[in-house]
Chain A
Amino acid sequence: MMRTKSDSTFVSLLYKPLCVVLVLAGLFSLIWLRSSIVSMTYSMRELEEKSMAARKDMKTLLAERAHLMAVSRITASLDTPAYGRAKSPEDVYVTPDRTRVVLVRHNTAAEPRQASLRLGDTR
């Protein structure tokens, strides 16, 4: 196929504006990208501030939880009319009944085995 003179003139006419448009588009894209990055950094900072505030609250709550979970505090909280006021301190903090504790020993002669239907999965 032979190129006509009118075709090449049309392409050369489009070529320059296209280049200009491309350069401008690239330039604006860069500016847009840069501004997006900056606005994202602002958002990130806002999130960081929120995260710091949440961590601060978390620390306070964890400290409060640890305080409320103290054995001495649980004992004191049980000593209320709702739970029936204790007659003496011994009545509040109750340790397990050792008459019900039995010494359990592993049967070393017969090793425990895990049963499995899959081959090679037995231990």
Chain B
Amino acid sequence: MAQKLQQGGGLSRKRVVILNTTIIFGFIAIFLRLSDLMIFNHKLLSEKARMQQEKSEDIHVMRGNIYDRRGRALAVNMELESLYCDSREVDIDGEKVKRLSNVLGMEPRAIQAKFKEEKRFSWIDRKLPAETVAKVRELLGMEPGVREPGVKGFGFMTESQRFYPKNELAAHIVGNVGLDNQPLEGIELRYDKYLKTSGGKVSLARDASGRVLSSGVNMESRGDDIQLTIDEGLQYITERELDKAMAKWRSVAATAIVMDPFTGEILAMANRPTYDLNNLHRANRADVRNRSITDIYEPGSTFKIVIGTAALEEKVFSPNSTFDCSRGSIEVGGKVVHDAHRHGLLAFHEVIQKSSNVGSIMIGMKLGKENIYKYAKLYGFGDKTGIDLPGEVSGWIKKPERWSATSIGAIPIGQEVAVTPLQVLRAYATVANGGFLVKPHVVSEIRTSAGLPVYSFEDTEKKRILSARTAETFRDILKTVVEEGGTATAAAVDGNQVAGKTGTAQLVDSRTKRYSKDRYISSFVGFVPADNPKLAMIVVVYEPKGSIYGGVVAGPVFRSIADQALSYMNVPRDDGKEKTLLLVAR
């Protein structure tokens, strides 16, 4: 019995040893495997796991919106789908390619070329309309909710698309962006650093079935919003009147700017020809140009503001000084300059009212070239106005030492100088506001997408360049231009007094290098109501057919715009009754 037990005990010990050895080897095997997984292949496997468990997604980036002064949207964003393919995965038959090409409006060959690129990612067509996306989804079996698409290797990606709800309205101010939302023109370009925003990627956890877990991160980022000084209503009125003028005078181009003379806020800025912001590909290069600030021209008689105000400011002449213009012409440096009509003896104010070249040259000669140059520079001619739009040019005016013998007979009447319409308007705004040179601007405020202010154009830069007395005297002279006997009676607005000046400038014939006999630029610049100006405006019509005079061509355009603009702004008539309102309680 005891031997049996001893034999039994020996067997059991043997079993125990075998079991223990097995367990130990088992643990060693597990340990080795774990070491392999966790130490030697850790990097590779953890990367593989990360690839399976994580999904990287781009934060949706959008540009900030652009609004007019009353908060009406001028540029917003939409989200559109873009179709892409992975050429290594694409599995589609020729028939479906043909149908896809019909839906997308592309050549089948162009689509098939994308499959041959051997790239993991190629765009097929971008920013498609919702209807097209629905058709493509149906064709490729990619309806939402379906995990396995009918045709492999295709996918949609959401992209931000800039949309301009007003189409061509204020096109030259708002500007535009390219296919990848890169800024090209206007505010879009000038304020790109505010409008754009940085994106980045977010890593999202996903399970074995591909379902994504929330990261709690805002997947959308929008740039700062911009509020302009432009008013959609005034812009529309201005553009409509320019269209009519273009049709009536069969002109090559036209420009009009409406500005608040006290603050420099641009209320409307229109150019013709123009283009549709949503169809940039159809526009010519000339259509895209903002002529108000990029095109220079000889201003003609509108430049007489320089010699007129300089003479008053320097007390070279008084408003009652007289000039003998009876000859109708004057010889300067061997060149004879004529008046449009023979006038006789003219008072200082009549020289401006009748736009006498002879009288203006007499004033200029008495002032001297140093003074003319000094005042032209004070008004900012030859320098950029600093408007917050890209592409502004400075124009030019020669320094006195470079003037020729004929310059003193040309510059006082607006020849041998090159200006932009905005520079001329700013000069007249100086007279309108009592002698201050203002800085024109089109942006009034920049806000974050949450509405917090980033930048506000509050401290309007003003520099006094004329005394209040000179400004007032010259304003009274400018009123006579629009009255009976002046050159711009057609610019008179019913109910409000207008002050302004006409300009009729000859263009230089590039072939003969002499002033053309049939190509002119007609302009009118002024402000209204004359004694309490609410708006200053310039209208420039390039190469009108049928008439050439600023008072005939541009004057009526000024009147039409001003009449509607004053109504739009609810500016009372000068002859309207003034009422005092007693407020009782709020």
Contact = CB atoms under 8 A, between A and B. Distances in A.
Interface of A: 38, 41-42, 44-45, 48, 52, 55-56, 59-60, 62-63, 66-67, 69-72, 75, 89, 93, 95-99, 101-107, 110, 112-115
Interface of B: 72-73, 76-79, 130, 158, 163, 165-167, 169, 211-214, 216, 219-220, 232-233, 236-237, 240, 244, 495, 564, 566-568, 570-573, 576-586
B91 to A, nearest CB: 28
A107 B166 contact: no
Contacts of A72: 166-167, 169, 236
Contacts of A93: 236-237, 240
Contacts of A112: 582-586
Contact of B165 (A38, A63, A104): A63
A48 B244 CA distance: 51
B214 A99 contact: no
Nearest to A69: B72
Given A98-B567, A101-B573, A101-B576, 12 more contacts: A44-B214, A44-B216, A60-B130, A69-B72, A93-B236, A93-B237, A98-B495, A98-B573, A101-B567, A101-B571, A105-B580, A107-B583
B237 to A, nearest CB: 8
**Leading 6 A-B pairs by shortest Cβ distance:** A95-B567, A66-B165, A44-B214, A112-B583, A66-B73, A67-B165
A89 B77 CA distance: 32
Interface centre among B79, B167, B244, B585 (most CB of A within 10 A): B79
B76 A105 contact: no
A63 B169 CA distance: 15
B585 A114 contact: yes
A105 to B, nearest CB: 6
A89 B214 CA distance: 55
Contacts of B166: 66-67, 70, 72
A98 B165 contact: no
19 contacts: A42-B214, A45-B213, A52-B219, A60-B130, A66-B72, A67-B166, A70-B165, A70-B166, A71-B169, A75-B236, A93-B236, A95-B564, A95-B567, A96-B567, A98-B573, A104-B581, A105-B578, A112-B584, A114-B585
B566 A59 contact: no
Nearest to A41: B213
Contact of A98 (B79, B572, B577, B582): B572
B73 A103 contact: no
B580 A45 contact: no
A19 B237 CA distance: 85
A48 B583 CA distance: 51
A105 B244 CA distance: 37
A48 B211 CA distance: 13
Contacts of B240: 89, 93
Nearest to A43: B214
A62 B71 CA distance: 13
A104 B77 CA distance: 41
Given A59-B77, A96-B570, A102 B579 contact: yes
Given A41-B213, A99-B495, A62 B581 contact: no
Contact of A56 (B79, B214, B584, B586): B79
A98 B566 contact: yes
Given A71-B236, A95-B564, A102 B79 contact: no
A107 B77 contact: no
Interface centre among A70, A89, A93, A110 (most CB of B within 10 A): A70
B577 A63 contact: no
Contact of A101 (B167, B233, B572, B584): B572
A67 to B, nearest CB: 4
B572 to A, nearest CB: 4
Contacts of A104: 579-581
A107 B582 contact: yes
B79 A96 contact: no
Given A48-B214, A95-B568, A105 B581 contact: yes
Contacts of A67: 163, 165-166
A97 B163 CA distance: 35
Nearest to B206: A45
B76 A59 contact: yes
Contacts of B582: 107, 110, 112
Contacts of B213: 38, 41-42, 45
Contacts of B214: 41-42, 44-45, 48
B585 A63 contact: no
A1 B163 CA distance: 88
A112 B495 CA distance: 32
Contacts of B216: 44
B572 A63 contact: no
A42 to B, nearest CB: 6
A93 B582 CA distance: 34
B90 to A, nearest CB: 27
Given A56-B79, A95-B568, A71 B232 contact: yes
A113 B585 contact: yes
